[in-house]
Amino acid sequence: MYIFVILNIIIMLLLIFGLYTMQKKHISFSKRVFTGLGLGVLFGLGLQFAYGMESEAVSTSIDWFNIVGSGYVSFLKMIVMPLVFISILSAFTKLKMENNLGKVSGWILGTLVGTTAIAAAVGIASAILFNLEAVQIDQGEAELGRAAQLEEQVVSVQDMTIPQQIVSLIPTNPFLDLTGANPTSTISVVIFAAILGIAFLGIRRKEPVYAEKFADIVETFYKLIMRVVTLILRLTPYGVLALMTKVTATSDYQAIWKLGKFVLASYAALIVMFIIHLLILAIAGLNPVTYVKKAFPVLAFAFTSRTSAGALPLNIKAQTKDMGVPEGIANFAGSFGLSIGQNGCAGIYPAMLAVMIAPTVGIDPLTPSFLLTLVAVVAISSFGVAGVGGGATFAALLVLSALNLPVGLAGLLISVEPLIDMGRTALNVSGSMTAGVITSKATKDLDTSVYNSSSQSA
């Protein structure tokens, strides 16, 4: 067995060396990410075909591969909270943001929440068109275990009204939230940084000397954090290779086949919503094909890693360097998008679940009152959804408990959850990037020459 593990590690090292060679030859960043993605798919499938999904050789090999894959994700998560905090604060210290603060915030939040409401409608339509019902799924041991776990989790959510949930987003200990200790830590850090930013604007009007010193300190920390981000992002092709190898080598394809209808319906909704993002950009007078090309490395990482928060550094970099979005707007859109208006996890997913589960308690999901209520609840509940693993589950608990639907049935898709979550995460990130581009276009701050250029940062 150890001989096979060593062989697998050697193959992985050779693939990594191949990607490194591409970097030395100055092949574009997006091409290297795409190559890493493709090699990971092929290598992972090869491992499962050769050894089987549950073989010790595969599990041990993946454990070693995680040094690259999970290590990369951990580096990104390490920098997320400092980046969110300093990005929001830095946005306030830029003169342009003072004049457009209300307009920028309104456009970003409006786009995020508005697209989430549209995503909910798309999820509802997909569930109805594919005739999805919870009773169609067999409840095995894994599904029953997941149901029990969700019912325990919902206790803390179910006892809180929507106003109480909103109040819970206000940080009582921002230093604790900076550690990411709570599910709503990200939005709490955003709020804390925004309050400091508003205070800075007041000081700049009354005591500009002190404000200038503070702005210099913030800019210094911002440059430092972004330099760390740059160092970490250079590892992206290798991280994507290792992550995709793990996904394809350990996926339960029999379960995916059995629940193919639900997987197909989910991805149909995700693809339709992504097309809606492109239509919004086209209506704004921007080339959607250009957006796809420049957003691909970010979306590829989000797809393989299943973490919107981990993709934040890539997200901000792509918006500013490749799409011409000002730093302030990109920082706002990327940071807000981690916990507000996630189109996939907080929009499509809970809406589809609600439509599937409603018939089990005698509710007709086709009634206009139910549909309108569902869309409204999804939009409101999209505030404070965590941008890391489990965000979709948290959103589902909020929506299902608000509609008095049994939350345990949300565990029925546990066997295909990772596969669906990959597409959801990529859509979440696309939604925040779209919000940044659309906002900067609306405020006339978008550098269209950068957006339309064929070049892409490495």
Check residue 144 and give its pLDDT: 45
pLDDT digits (tens, 9 = 90+) for 65-108: 999 988 988 887 788 788 888 888 887 887 555 557 778 888 99
Please give the structure tokens belonging to residue 444.
């006339």
- In single-letter form, the type of residue at position 369 comes to S
Check residue 205 and give its pLDDT: 85
Q: Which residue has the tokens 């290798």?
A: 238
Domain boundaries, the chain: 2-452
- CA-angle at 22, arms to 16 and 26, nearest 5°: 140
Check residue 437 and give its pLDDT: 95
For the stretch 174-199, what's the b/e string if a residue is b when 16 or more beta carbons lie within 10 angstroms of its beta carbon?
beebbebebbbbbbbbbbbbbebbee
Residue 308 has φ and ψ, to the nearest 5°, of -65, -40
Helix axes 29-51, 56-65, angle to 10 degrees: 160
pLDDT digits (tens, 9 = 90+) for 7-31: 989 999 999 999 999 989 888 877 8
**Cα–Cα distance for residue pair 185/170, rounded to 1 Å:** 10
Q: Is the pLDDT of residue 398 over 50?
A: yes
DSSP secondary structure code for residue 340 in this structure: B
Residue 264 has φ and ψ, to the nearest 5°, of -65, -45
- CA-angle at 67, arms to 62 and 72, nearest 5°: 115
> Cβ distance 5 to 64 under 8 Å?
yes
Q: Is the pLDDT of residue 458 over 80?
A: no
Could you tell me the pLDDT band of residue 387, with boundaries at 50, 70 and 90?
very low
Q: Is the pLDDT of residue 342 over 50?
A: yes
Check residue 86 and give its pLDDT: 87
Q: What is the mean pLDDT of the chain?
A: 82
Check residue 136 and give its pLDDT: 56
Q: Which residue has the tokens 């792509």?
A: 318
pLDDT digits (tens, 9 = 90+) for 277-319: 999 999 999 999 999 999 988 998 888 877 787 788 889 889 9
CB atoms within 10 A of CB 2: 9
Could you tell me the pLDDT band of residue 143, with boundaries at 50, 70 and 90?
very low
Dihedral in degrees, nearest 10, Cα atoms 73, 430, 397, 399: 170
CATH topology assigned to domain 2-452: Proton glutamate symport protein (1.10.3860)
Check residue 388 and give its pLDDT: 47
In the three-class reduction of DSSP (H, G, I as helix; E, B as strand; rest coil), residue 250 is classed as: helix
| Integer angstrom CA distances of residue 396 from 30, 286, 366, 382, 400 | 33, 34, 19, 10, 6
Q: Which residue has the tokens 């210094």?
A: 220
Q: Is the pLDDT of residue 141 over 50?
A: no
Please give the structure tokens belonging to residue 295.
């957003």
Nearest alpha-carbon partner for 262 in 169, 388, 136 = 136
Q: Is the pLDDT of residue 329 over 60?
A: yes
Q: Is the pLDDT of residue 258 over 80?
A: no
- pLDDT (average), residues 374-392: 68
